[in-house]
Amino acid sequence: MLTLYSFGPGANSLKPTLALYEKGMEFNHRLLNPAKFEHHEDWFKAINPRGQVPALEDEGRIITESTVICEYLEDAHPTAVKLRPESHFDVAQMRVWTKWVDEYFCWCVSTIGWHRHVSKMVKDLSDEEFEKVVARIPVPEQQVKWRRAREGFPQDMLDEEMRKIAVSVKRLDDHLRDNEWLAGGVYSLADICNFAIANGMQHGFSELVNTDDTPGLVRWIEQINDRPAAKAMFAAVPREF
């Protein structure tokens, strides 16, 4: 059986989790606790040397990178539920959206999330404890991010990320006002991968994501939350806040 290593149904971990629920597949779900830095422990770095979730194990082989895992599930484990559009052109549009969330949308939201949440988590550590935590992080750019979270992100960086979030939210809403789904008129990995980042913004970024300013985006977030697979996922694995 497949084993998914994840932080639960939020951010990049949500992508393959929701895909597996949509596909109706059974899988072992090994939840890691980010507050305990479990993803930087040696046992997990033996699975993913980058120390990042999600990771999928399939017959002893490991697939990493959330979007790659989603495409892999469609390739290797086809089910009655298809999470890619039928036409090749629409699949390309789906990939433009999954690429965009990975290269643009997720980063600006992530930095603000770190500023708000991870900063608090690491400020309580002693210098010695913090250095121990950082030393176990295998990716240098991630070490820099942890240090910034502790020292405080520069205000001009936070301002720039908020500008990008506003651009992102508008881009999604512009499309979703006129279209039920992001690509090819059907629910696809484009929706799942963007929902992974956008879900919750109606609370955490309510000044930007609300029924007055972004009615298309809010409708789409609610519509995905109402799907049986999403309900089953959130019921089985409550989102950590």
Rounded to a whole number of angstroms, the minimum distance from the CB of residue 91 to a copy of itself is 6
Provide the minimum distance between the beta carbon of 181 and a copy of itself in the complex, in angstroms, as a whole number: 18
Min dist CB 226 to a copy of itself, Å, is 30
Contact in structure between 65 and 57 (CB atoms under 8 Å): no
Q: Considering beta carbons, is residue 192 or 237 the nearer one to a copy of itself? A: 192
Distance of closest approach, residue 11 Cβ to a copy of itself, in angstroms: 16
* Long-range own/partner contacts, residues 233-237 (CB < 8 A, 24 or more apart): 233/9, 233/17, 233/18, 233/21, 234/9, 236/29, 237/8, 237/9, 237/17, 237/29, 237/31
Instruction: Round to whole Å and give the CA distance between 166 and 160.
Output: 10
Between 174 and 240, whose beta carbon lies closer to a copy of itself?
174
| CB of residue 6 to a copy of itself, shortest distance in Å | 17
Least Å distance, CB 49 to a copy of itself, is 12
For a copy of itself, the closer of residues 35 and 96 by Cβ is 96
Listed residue (119, 181, 110) closest to 153, CA to CA: 119
Residue in 64, 67, 86, 81 with CA at minimum distance from that of residue 25: 81
What is the amino acid identity at position 190?
A
**Closest approach of a copy of itself to the CB of residue 87, in Å:** 9
Q: How far apart are the first and last CA of the chain?
A: 29
Contact 15, 4 (CB under 8 A): no
Residues 6+ apart with CB under 8 A from 232: 21
Q: Under 8 Å CB-to-CB from 218, ≥6 apart: which residues? A: 202, 209, 210, 211
Return the number of the residue (46 or 235) whose C-beta is nearest a copy of itself: 46
Pick 67 or 214: Cβ nearer a copy of itself: 67
Task: Give the full edge-to-edge strand order of the sheet including 61-64.
Answer: 28-31, 3-6, 55-58, 61-64
Which C-beta is closer to a copy of itself: that of 127 or that of 140? Answer: 140
Cβ distance to a copy of itself smaller for residue 157 or 236 = 157
Binding site for a copy of itself (CB under 8 A): 58, 61, 63-65, 67-69, 71-72, 75-76, 88-89, 91-92, 95-96, 99, 102-103, 140, 167
